[in-house]
Structure 1
Amino acid sequence: MAGLSILIPTLNEARRLPLLLADLARWPHGAQVIVVDGGSRDRTTVVASLAGVARLSSPERGRGQQLIHGMAAAIHDWTLVLHADSRLPPRWCSAVQRVIENPQAKRDAWFFDFRVEERGPMLWLLERSVGLRSRLGQRPYGDQGLLIHRTLYAASGGYRPIPLMEDLDLVERIARHHRLRRLRCPLVTSNRRWQEQGVISRAWCNWRLRRRWQQGIAADQLAGDYDR
C-alpha cells in the first residue's frame, strides 16, 4: 500500500486537534502525521506530543510558511493537507486509498466535499454553493483538504510564504494545467466562524477578502482583516 503523509498547520487548536487525530488513527497502515505549529499559546503542541505524531515549529508565523516547512518534512509521495478543526468520516480511508493506489491519479489534485458541523437551511445552501465553485470553478479551499502527489506539488510551485490565501494561491496555479477532483467524501469543518458572525455575514466577508486579494491587496494586510 502506498504511504501517506498528513500535514496539519496549527495555531491554538488544543481543543479541536485531538478529534482530528482520532479520525486519522483509522488509517490502516500508519501514516506520517506532521503537526506544524505557528506559535500556539495553548496546549496544542502538548496534544501533538501525547498523540505521538511528528511536531514541528514553524520558523515564521503564517499558514503558508507552516505548510512549506511541513511539506519539506513529508517522506511519502502523497501528502494530505488538513485544517486542525476538521473531522473525517470513517470512510475517508477508502476514498484516499482509491486515489493513491491509482498510478494515473497523481496527475490531478484531490479534495473533499465541504460540510459544516451544524445543519440548517443557510448552511445547506452554502455547502451547495461551495460544491459548485469547487467542481465547476476548480477552486476548492483549504477547509476541503488537499491530497497531492509530490511531483504535482513541485510542478505547481508549491505553497508560498503568505499568511492567508495560501490555499487559493496554490489551487489557482494547479488549475492552469491540471484538474482538481472530488474524493467523493465529506470533510466536516468547524462551525465556529459561521456561528460567531452568521452565515451571510461570514460568506460576504470571505468573498470580499478573496476579491481584494485578486485585486492585488497584500496577504499580510488581508490576514489582519480576517482575524478581526
Structure 2
Amino acid sequence: MISVIIPVLNEAKNIKNILILLLDNPQIEIIVVDGGSEDKTVEIVEEMGVKVVSAERGRAKQMNLGASVAQGDILLFLHADTQLPLGFEKLVIQALSQPQIVAGAFSLKIASKLWGIKLIEKMVNVRSQLFQLPYGDQAIFISQDWFQKVGGFPDLPIMEDFELIVRLKKLGKIAIVSTPVITSARRWEKLGVWKTTLINQQIIMAYFLGISPQKIALWYK
C-alpha cells in the first residue's frame, strides 16, 4: 500500500480535483493533514470520505504527523496543488525497487502558458536529474522504513523538503521518475516567473550560507 499524505491549509479551491484522481484505488491510502484551515477544506475532504487529521500548522509538522498514522509501506508526500500522473503507484514501486534507491520524486510540469515557464521546468528537471535534488512539489516518495531511519522531515519552517533529500543522499540514491506531476502555477502567476524564481534561488543561497530557516521563512512571508 502507498499512503499519500497531503498537508493542507485553506485549499478548498484545489483539494477536490486532487482527491478525485486518488479515490477508489485499493493500493492507495489517502491522509489529508489540516493545519487549521479557515475555509471549507476539511468539510470538502470529509464529504469525499477521505481521512482528515489535524496538526499544528507547518508543512513539516503536518507531513510527519500524517506519516505517523499511515498504514502504507510507502509514503508519498503530495502538495495540495499538484496532480499525480495516472498509474503513479506502479512508477513509485518500480523506482523504489531499483538497487541503492532510498527515495524518489517525479519530474515537474507547471500548468501554465506563461512566458518562461517551459524554461523553469527544464531547469528544475535538469537539477533534479543531475544533482538528485527534487523539491516537495515533485511529490517525494520513500519507504516507511527509510523515512523512520532518517527521522522524518526536520522540523523547519521552510526548506524541510530540501534538508530531507540532503540527508537521504548520504544513505543512497534518489530516483527521478521521468513522467511528470503537474503543479499549479499560482506562485508564478502571483509574483511573475522571474521574480518567483529569483526569490526561490535567494532562499536556497541563504540556507547554504547558514542563515537560520526561521529568518528565511520570515523573509519569504
- TM-score (normalised: structure 2): 0.93
Which of 31, 34, 41 in structure 2 is aligned with 1:37?
A: 34
SS at match of 2:116: helix
What is the identity, as a one-letter code, of the residue corresponding to 2:17? L
Unaligned runs of 5+ in 1: none
Unaligned runs of 5+ in 2: none
Q: Distance in 2 between matches of 1:160 and 1:131?
A: 24
Q: Which residue does the alignment assign to 1:83?
A: 79
Q: CA RMSD in A?
A: 1.7
Cα deviation per residue 1:89-125 (whole Å; 9 max; x = unaligned)?
324243234346x4x5684211111110013451111
Cα deviation per residue 1:13-62 (whole Å; 9 max; x = unaligned)?
111011110111263x242111111111111111111111111111x211
User: Structure 1 residues 106 and 36, CA, compared in 2 at 3 Å: closer, same or farther?
Assistant: farther
| Cα contact 1:79–1:147 (8 A) shared by 2 | yes
| Cα contact 1:112–1:183 (8 A) shared by 2 | yes
Q: Which residue does the alignment assign to 1:62?
A: 58
Q: Which residue does the alignment assign to 1:156?
A: 150
Q: Distance in 2 between matches of 1:105 and 1:54?
A: 33
Q: Which residue does the alignment assign to 1:188?
A: 182
Give matches, 1:20-169, under 5 Å.
20-25=18-23, 27=25, 29-58=26-55, 60-99=56-95, 102=97, 104=98, 107-169=101-163
Q: Which residue does the alignment assign to 2:201?
A: 207
The answer as to 2:3 corresponding to 1:9 is no
What is the identity, as a one-letter code, of the residue corresponding to 2:7? P
Count residues with an aligned counterpart: 221
Q: Distance in 1 between matches of 2:64 and 2:88?
A: 25
User: Structure 1 residues 6 and 105, CA, compared in 2 at 3 Å: closer, same or farther?
Assistant: farther
- TM-score (normalised: structure 1): 0.90
What is the identity, as a one-letter code, of the residue corresponding to 2:10? N
Cα deviation per residue 1:171-200 (whole Å; 9 max; x = unaligned)?
010112211112222111111110111111
Which of 171, 175, 179 in structure 2 is aligned with 1:177?
A: 171
